[in-house]
Structures are given as C-alpha cells and as structure tokens.
C-alpha cells in the first residue's frame, strides 16, 4: 500500500529524493549530484518551507514532491511553489503524482498560504490543469515553460 509521508518522518528517503530530483531536473543542466544534497537536507528542518513529501510502499521509494519558497527567481513575490514532482516509472499512471501534489497543496494551505505556484513545461501543462491548476503566465521564463496557480479559496469550495 502506498503511503505519503513528510520527509522529516522518513529521512531515510533523503538520498532517493536527491537522486531522482537531480536526474529529472538538474543533471541535464550540468549540475553535479552533490549540489542537491544541501537543498534536500533543508527539508529536514523545522520550518514549513521547504518541505518534501515522499510516496513509499513500506521501505520502497515510489515518488516525491516539494514545497519550496520560490521556483522562479524572476518572480520572487510568487510564493510558495510546488516543485520537483517525481514518480518512479513503474509506478506512474496510478494517481500517485496527483496524490503527492494534493498532499503538498493541503500542507501549504494549512500553513496559511492562499495561492500556490507551479512551473511546468508545455508537455506537462495539461496534466496539472487536469488536477485543477490554472495557467497564470505562459512562456515564462522561456518559451514552453508556464507558471500555474492553485487558489486555496477554490479548494474549500471543491
């Protein structure tokens, strides 16, 4: 059975989170894997942001998502952000990604956030829209990259 936990409750998954986020989002830009160790460790701190969530089946890592202060440095007033969604290939298409995003969103709204932001490539935009996210800005900061939002007030009326 798949469970979703705060990384603070399951710190043994920190290396898996760092590895998958590096492979998916940092590797192709030439960043060394060690560069991600510090940001992942920050998720183990006491504050609500940053927070990482992990999907797992017992001790088997299944996926992750993060809640961070800012995912687009040219938009510092947009905060907080859902970022770095990853589900293991063999576990995809089972609703785990949606469950991770919902868990992170519920957590953020529970801390008082009224709007959440997400940066998505064009090929994933429809997926996030199917989860209730709306496009706020298109082609930002580059063509094919979009800022999406999810409002907390809308969440209470769902």
The CATH class that applies to domain 3-113 reads: alpha beta
User: CB-hemisphere CA count at 13 Å for 35?
Assistant: 11
Residue 155 confidence (pLDDT) above 70: no
Domain boundaries, the chain: 3-113
**Which pLDDT belongs to residue 132?**
95
Confidence of residue 157 (pLDDT cuts 50, 70, 90): very low
Distances (CA, A) of 50 to 7, 59, 111, 127: 11, 23, 12, 24
- Neighbouring CB atoms inside 10 A of 81's CB total 23
């Amino acid at each position: 059975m798949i469970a979703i936990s705060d990384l603070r409750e399951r710190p043994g998954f920190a290396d898996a989170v760092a590895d998958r986020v590096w492979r998916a989002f940092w590797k192709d830009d030439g960043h060394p894997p060690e560069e991600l160790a510090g940001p992942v460790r920050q998720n183990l701190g006491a504050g609500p942001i940053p927070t990482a969530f992990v999907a797992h089946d017992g001790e088997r890592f299944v996926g992750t998502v993060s809640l961070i202060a800012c995912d687009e440095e040219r938009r510092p007033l947009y905060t907080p952000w859902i970022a770095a969604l990853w589900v293991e290939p063999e576990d995809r298409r089972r609703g785990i990604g949606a469950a991770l995003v919902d868990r992170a969103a519920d957590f953020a709204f529970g801390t008082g956030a009224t709007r959440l932001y997400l940066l998505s490539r064009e090929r994933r935009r429809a997926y996030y829209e199917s989860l209730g996210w709306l496009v706020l800005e298109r082609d930002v900061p580059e063509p094919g990259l979009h800022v999406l939002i999810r409002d907390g007030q809308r969440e209470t009326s769902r």
